[in-house]
Amino acid sequence: MSGEGRISVITVVKDGASHLEETILSVMDNKSTAAIDYIIIDGGSTDGTQDIIKKYAALISYWVSEQDNGIYDAMNKGWAAAAADSFILFLGAGDRIISLPDTMIRYRSNDVVYGSALMGEKTVFKSRADFHLKLYNSLHHQALLVNKSFHPAPPFNCRYRVYADFDFNQRLLKLEARFIFDPQFIGYARSGGISDKSGIWESLKVVRGNFGFFWWALALSGYCAMKVLPFLKRLRPFRVFRKEGYYDQK
């Protein structure tokens, strides 16, 4: 499981039989255009997930089914199993690859390649790797490729229940990884995953731990503004402005 420009796709799953097969097929559809190792870490499912994995076992590079200590513990196991020089992409059960970069050979070990993420069928998440990443998780793992050689050890802090991936993304920024947007890279994120949970206080804890009080305060202010703005839009002055064309509700 090695080679220049190789991609290790890792799926962590627990009782995901209803969604796992579409993710597997999505990965297999891209094997003809990219050098892919596929790894599945199952948390000891009892709903038929293992039967689906065994159905495609010949096409899977590595899989295991055993108890773990949560999603980020499972993601760390997948990271440990991936080839040392591969670019790692995480997909949950129900997530899909829409398209990958046409080649990974041009990217270096310190390059973090990101693309666009479809959130549901119509919404496109605007990925950012600038100062926004200091405020919130502006990158989605369904459209993020990180070379294992840049961070060989399993990277996720399991003390975080929802935002360990955000913490890792911020640490990549602090390590001065070179973030590169590839327009050909598109992933699909199924709604209802762990990232749909608010966890705002954990997110703020991550920001303060990595970038200090100033950025924590900015992140908190932004969150409060998002909560207040919908209320303000319902007030009479804003309704009048919209009627007169002075205020764009979008």
Give CA–CA dist 6/87, Å, rounded. Answer: 6
Higher local confidence (pLDDT), 2 or 169: 169
pLDDT, tens digit (0-9, with 9 covering 90-100), for 194-239: 554 558 999 999 999 999 999 999 999 988 887 776 655 565 554 4
Q: Are the CB atoms for 115 and 127 separated by under 8 Å?
A: yes
Residue 225 has a CB neighbour count (10 Å cut-off) of 10
Residue 53 has pLDDT above 80, yes or no: yes
91-112: b or e for each residue (b if 16 or more CB lie within 10 Å)?
bbbbbbbbbbbeebeebeeebb
Residue 169 has a CB neighbour count (10 Å cut-off) of 26
Residue 58 has pLDDT above 80, yes or no: yes
* Percentage of the residues of the chain whose pLDDT score is greater than 90: 77
User: Residue 28: CB partners within 8 Å, gap ≥ 6?
Assistant: 38, 56, 59
Cα distances from 240 to residues 9, 134, 232, 234, in angstroms, run 51, 36, 12, 10
The confidence score (pLDDT) of residue 249 equals 38
Delimit the CATH 3.90.550.10 region(s) of the chain.
Answer: 7-196
Residue 144 has pLDDT above 50, yes or no: yes
The confidence score (pLDDT) of residue 243 equals 43
Average pLDDT over residues 234-248: 45
**CATH of the domain spanning 7-196:** 3.90.550.10
Give CA–CA dist 137/240, Å, rounded. Answer: 35
